[in-house]
Amino acid sequence: MNETLLLLNGYQWAVLAASLSVIFGGIGSCIGIASAAKMSAGVLAEDPDKFGGLLVLCILPGTQGIYGFITGLLVVVFFGLLGGDGKSIVLAQGVRIFLGCMPVMIMCLVSAIFQGAVSTAGVGMVAKRGEAAGQGMILSALVETYAVLSLVVSLFLIMAAQAG
Partner 1 sequence: MAVAEVEKIYLAAHDSIRETLVETLQKKGLVHIVNLRKELSETELEELIGDFEPDSKDVDFVLSRVNFVLDFLGEFQKKEGGFLSGMMGEKTEVELSEFEKIRAKVDLEGIYEECESLEGRLNAIETELGKLENVRKELKPWMPLDIKFIDIGETENTIFAIGQFPVLNFDKAEHELEDSVIESSLDMINKDSQFAYVLAIFLKERSTEVNQILSKYGFQTTSFANLDDAPEEEVAEIAEQIYNLQEEKKAVIKKAKDLVSLKSDLIVLKNYLENMKNRAKVQLNFAKTEKAFMLEGWVRKEDVARFKKEVSKLSTEVDFTFADPKENENPPVMLKNNKWFTPFEIVTSLYGYPKYGELDPTAYLAPFFIIFFGICIGDVGYGLILTLASLWLKKKFRAKETIRNFAVLFIWGGLASMVAGALTGSWFTIETESLPLVLRKMIILEPLKDPVTFLVFCFLFGFAHLLFGVVLEMYDNIRNGRWIEGIFREGGKLILLPGIALLIVQMLSMGKEVLPATLLSVAKWMSIVGVVLIVWFTEPNAKSIFGRIGSGVYGLYGMTSFIGDTISYSRLMALGLATFLIGWGINIIGGIANDMIPFVGFVIMAIILVVGHLFNLVINLISAFVHPARLQYVEFFGKFFEGGGRPFKPFALDAKNLVFKGPELLKDDKLTSNLR
Partner 2 sequence: MLKALRDPLKYGFAVGRIRVRETKMLGANRLDRLIGAGDFYDQKRILVETDYGNFFQEAATPEDVEQALNDYLAVLYEFLEEIYPEKKILSYFRSRYDFHNLKVFLKAKYGEKSTERIWSKLGMLDAEVAKERVDEGNLDEIEEPYASALLEAMEKFEEDKDSQQIDVVLDRALHLYLYEVAKRQKNKFFLGYVKSLIDLANLKLFMRARNLNKEARFVEDALLDHGFIPKGDFISAYYDAPEVLIGKLKETPYAKIVQDSVAGQEFDLDFFDRKADDFLVSFLKPAKYIAVGLEPLISYIIAKENEVKALRIILIGRLSGVSAQTIKERVCAQYV
User: Rule CB under 8 A: is residue 36 a binding residue for partner 2?
Assistant: yes
Nearer to partner 2 (CB atom), residue 16 or residue 106: 106
The C-alpha atoms of residue 39 and residue 83 are separated, in whole angstroms, by 44
Site string for partner 1, 69-88 (x = CB under 8 A): xx--xx--x-----------
Question: Distance between alpha carbon 43 and the CA centroid of its chain, in Å?
Answer: 27
- What's the one-letter identity of residue 43? V
Q: How many residues bind partner 1 (CB under 8 A)?
A: 30
The C-alpha atoms of residue 112 and residue 115 are separated, in whole angstroms, by 5
Nearer to partner 2 (CB atom), residue 8 or residue 110: 110
User: Rule CB under 8 A: is residue 59 a binding residue for partner 2?
Assistant: no
**Residues 17-28 as b or e (16 or more Cβ within 10 Å = b):** bbbbbbebbbbb
Question: Distance between alpha carbon 17 and the CA centroid of its chain, in Å?
Answer: 13
User: Rule CB under 8 A: is residue 145 a binding residue for partner 1?
Assistant: yes
User: Rule CB under 8 A: is residue 34 a binding residue for partner 2?
Assistant: yes
Helices 10-46, 51-59: inter-axial angle, 10-degree rounding? 160
Residues that bind partner 1 (CB under 8 A): 49, 51-52, 56, 59-60, 62-63, 66-67, 69-70, 73-74, 77, 134-135, 137-138, 141-142, 144-145, 148-149, 151-152, 155-156, 159
